Amino acid sequence: MKTTLLMRLAVCAVLCQSALGFAAVVDDVPESKAYELLLDLKLPNAATYNVTPPTYETDKSKTWSTSFDRVAYHLEVKRPDESRQWIWVSMQAFTDDPSKVGIPHSGAKIFWQQSLQDLDVRTNHSTVKEVTQSQSGNIEFWPSNYGVQNTAQVPNASDTAYDFGDGPATGPGYGSMQIHDHGQKTTLFAYNSWGSNATTDDLGIGNNATPMSSGAVHSDWTFRGNAAEYEIKRLRVYLRPGPTPGGLAVQLTSPGDRQVVQRNEDGLGSIEVSGALTSFASHIEASAVALKGGVDAPWQVIDASPTKSFHGALQLQQGWYRLDIRVWQDETLLTEISSPEFGVGDVYITAGQSNSANSGKPAQTPTSPMVGAWGPSGWRHAKDPQPIATGVGGTPWPHLGDLLVEAYGVPVGFISVGWGGTSVTQWQPGHSKQLFERLKLALGHVGWRGARAILWHQGESDAASKMTSKTYRELMTKLIDASRDYAGWTIPWGVARASYLPKLGQTEIQAIVDGQQQVIDADKTVFEGPNTNDMIGSVWRHDTVHFNEAGLKEHAKRWKETIPTPTASVKTAPVDEPDAGEPIEADAGGELDSASTSDSGATL
């Protein structure tokens, strides 16, 4: 009897705790009565969810069967001898999949870096402002490391501190689960460092105000390692049953924001139109609206038999566009959406060492909206730092994009894969540094004849190692040939004359320039890039090696003057033409981001 009584008391304790927890949320937020609990998790002090996924006390994500129109998060925390703090953050559903709203560990394949619609905030936290139907919310959910760079260009965010506008890396790592109100410059709640290391997690409501030992203050709680301070820390996720928001009925995967596709010799480019559907449709149609240059394209069916996804293409004249897309079930219009802005113009792959990468100061931003950059997270405005290249500073590419847009009136896209401090030897296929994989990544993304040229700026490291002209010419020729073998066509290269480092002798500097010139002279599809060796001193360089703002702009100007006038696509004989409809895939090998766990502002 005693055992039975103890068992009943234990069951009662669990049930009462659950009931009290639910009652507390309803007491906090009466409107939560319209929502249903999806996930409930007591947060540990030090999680490793990328290694061992979370075990929720309540998990209905696999059994949920109804549509929902809003998602809500309720976080409560309490330190000893302090009052309980809580926050409720709800927003229009940003997905129709209930398995994509929880802890974004690598096994869940969750990644969200976007704005939120109709944000509601309820809280008892003294520094967080309650809002209703706000349009200034944004979400940063990912399993990876991240850096201070505001890659999504969130309004008001910093490029020097971790806050409400950071830039994710790839692969499993530190982990971020954050929701912000960038209009209020406020982190609403943040839960970080739960990914792959066993250090104490970061957790907080509102902005963190405690500085690091370096003096840096990261408002999104990154590096705080403070989760053990709380005796209560509990996260709940709710869904409100209702019709799926119209924008989620079709999830567009292409075209991407600021995407640029290469035009051909007739000024035409083919833009992929693809996405996923949440319900059955009989056909998908699209039309193109020319925003600058270009020619409108009338409504046309791009997929006559979609399933859960759709795929098609539109051929458009060079210019800047928006697509309107309609989803039909026979004669009933299910939904209509518009794509992000994109363009048909010229795409350049840039490679080399630090002066092709993000090592200049300050970071640059294109003035034209028609200058895009591609990286692992997709296309975006080509604001520095460029998404794949190493470093966190500036490049010549934003200004070059502006110059080319102004000169030729077509959009310009960049894929920058440079790596600071590298030699031409390290860029060879098969080298342990795996830098050639970065070129393959870019070539695989653009596909057959999908770029105008590769722009190469490198040579300083080889001058420092006293490489001969002959060796440089041979290695550079091998690299160019390997890129063309992989691409399947003779992609043009532009090779800069670059080899200057302070304290190097003129003999070493000139040897590399001679090798570069020999490569240019020997191949009609390699054009002469700029000579930057005369840009010396504080007029051009901020640290005697890397360019300052004047240097970055002059570097861009010299590239613009040396790139052949792009009046038509470069017509070259194919090396090995792929079958139609079989795009070249990028290999997964090679690193895309350097990683660090310091609080210095480098990539996490």
Given 185, 212, 241, which residue is the final one in a domain?
Answer: 241
Per the domain annotation, does 118 fall within a domain?
yes
Residues 6+ apart with CB under 8 A from 399: 364, 366, 552, 553, 556, 557
Query: Do 367 and 431 fall into the same domain?
Result: yes
Which residue in the block uniquely carries the two structure tokens 């006559």? Answer: 304
Report whether pLDDT(170) > 90: no
Query: What does the pLDDT average to over 15-24?
Result: 46
Which of these, 509, 528, 532, lies nearest to 519 by C-alpha position? Answer: 528
Report whether pLDDT(29) > 80: yes
Report whether pLDDT(572) > 50: no
Given 300, 315, 340, which residue is the final one in a domain?
Answer: 340
Per the domain annotation, does 168 fall within a domain?
yes
E-strand ranges in 283-386 read 283-293, 297-303, 309-317, 319-329, 332-338, 342-352, 371-375, 378-381
Query: Do 331 and 217 fall into the same domain?
Result: no
Q: Are 454 and 446 in contact (CB under 8 A)?
A: no
pTM attached to this predicted model: 0.67
Q: Are 145 and 592 in contact (CB under 8 A)?
A: no
Query: Do 410 and 550 fall into the same domain?
Result: yes
Q: Are 67 and 242 in contact (CB under 8 A)?
A: yes
Query: Do 196 and 60 fall into the same domain?
Result: yes
CATH number of residue 306's parent domain: 2.60.40.10
**β-pair type (412-416, 342-352):** parallel
Domain housing 25: 21-241
pLDDT in tens, 492-530: 999 999 999 999 999 999 999 999 999 999 999 999 999
| Residue 576 confidence class, pLDDT cut points 50, 70, 90 | very low
Task: Give the pLDDT of residue 332.
Answer: 85
Task: Measure CA of the first residue to CA of the last residue in the chain; give whole Å.
Answer: 57
Q: Are 187 and 163 in contact (CB under 8 A)?
A: yes
Residues 6+ apart with CB under 8 A from 267: 317, 318, 344
Burial of 330 (0-12, 13-18, 19+ CB in 10 A): exposed
Q: How many angstroms separate the CA atoms of 252 and 238, rounded?
A: 25
Q: Are 493 and 526 in contact (CB under 8 A)?
A: yes
Q: How many angstroms separate the CA atoms of 443 and 374, rounded?
A: 12
Per the domain annotation, does 46 fall within a domain?
yes
Determine what percent of the chain falls in helix, strand and coil, rounding each to the nearest 5. Answer: 20, 30, 45
Residue type, 51: V
Give me the chain's average pLDDT, please: 89
Task: Give the pLDDT of residue 568.
Answer: 42
Report whether pLDDT(195) > 50: yes
Q: How many angstroms separate the CA atoms of 515 and 519, rounded?
A: 6
Per the domain annotation, does 123 fall within a domain?
yes
Query: What does the pLDDT average to over 454-458?
Result: 98
pLDDT in tens, 227-244: 999 999 999 999 999 988
Q: Are 408 and 438 in contact (CB under 8 A)?
A: no
Per the domain annotation, does 138 fall within a domain?
yes
Query: Do 173 and 261 fall into the same domain?
Result: no
Query: Do 203 and 263 fall into the same domain?
Result: no
In the chain, the percentage of residues whose pLDDT exceeds 70 is 90
Q: How many angstroms separate the CA atoms of 87 and 599, rounded?
A: 27
Q: How many angstroms separate the CA atoms of 350 and 193, rounded?
A: 34
Which residue in the block uniquely carries the two structure tokens 């390692």? Answer: 225
Task: Give the pLDDT of residue 303.
Answer: 96
Report whether pLDDT(601) > 80: no
158-162, 394-398, 422-426, 569-573: the lowest-pLDDT one:
569-573
pLDDT in tens, 367-384: 999 999 999 889 999 999
pLDDT in tens, 289-327: 999 999 999 999 999 999 889 999 999 999 999 999 999
Q: How many angstroms separate the CA atoms of 515 and 95, rounded?
A: 54
Given 340, 361, 386, which residue is the final one in a domain?
Answer: 340
Query: Do 475 and 527 fall into the same domain?
Result: yes
Per the domain annotation, does 596 fall within a domain?
no
Task: Give the pLDDT of residue 9.
Answer: 42
Query: Do 67 and 206 fall into the same domain?
Result: yes
Backbone dihedral region of 26: left (phi > 0), alpha (psi from -120 to 50 degrees) or beta? Answer: alpha
Query: Do 224 and 272 fall into the same domain?
Result: no
Quote the tokens at residue 423: 């030699």
Query: Do 444 and 336 fall into the same domain?
Result: no
| Residue 577 confidence class, pLDDT cut points 50, 70, 90 | very low
Report whether pLDDT(560) > 70: yes
Query: Do 484 and 517 fall into the same domain?
Result: yes
Q: How many angstroms separate the CA atoms of 164 and 154, rounded?
A: 8
8-state DSSP, 172: S
Per the domain annotation, does 2 fall within a domain?
no
Query: Do 357 and 327 fall into the same domain?
Result: no
Query: What does the pLDDT average to over 396-412?
Result: 97
Quote the tokens at residue 376: 């692992």
Task: Give the pLDDT of residue 244.
Answer: 82
Q: How many domains are contained in the chain? A: 3
Q: Are 203 and 146 in contact (CB under 8 A)?
A: no
In the chain, the percentage of residues whose pLDDT exceeds 90 is 82
Residue 6: CB atoms within 10 Å: 10
**Start-end of H helices in 410-468:** 436-446, 460-464
Which residue in the block uniquely carries the two structure tokens 């949920």? Answer: 64
Q: How many angstroms separate the CA atoms of 464 and 508, rounded?
A: 7
419-428, 443-452, 569-578: the lowest-pLDDT one:
569-578
| Residue 68 confidence class, pLDDT cut points 50, 70, 90 | very high
CATH number of residue 427's parent domain: 3.40.50.1110
Per the domain annotation, does 52 fall within a domain?
yes
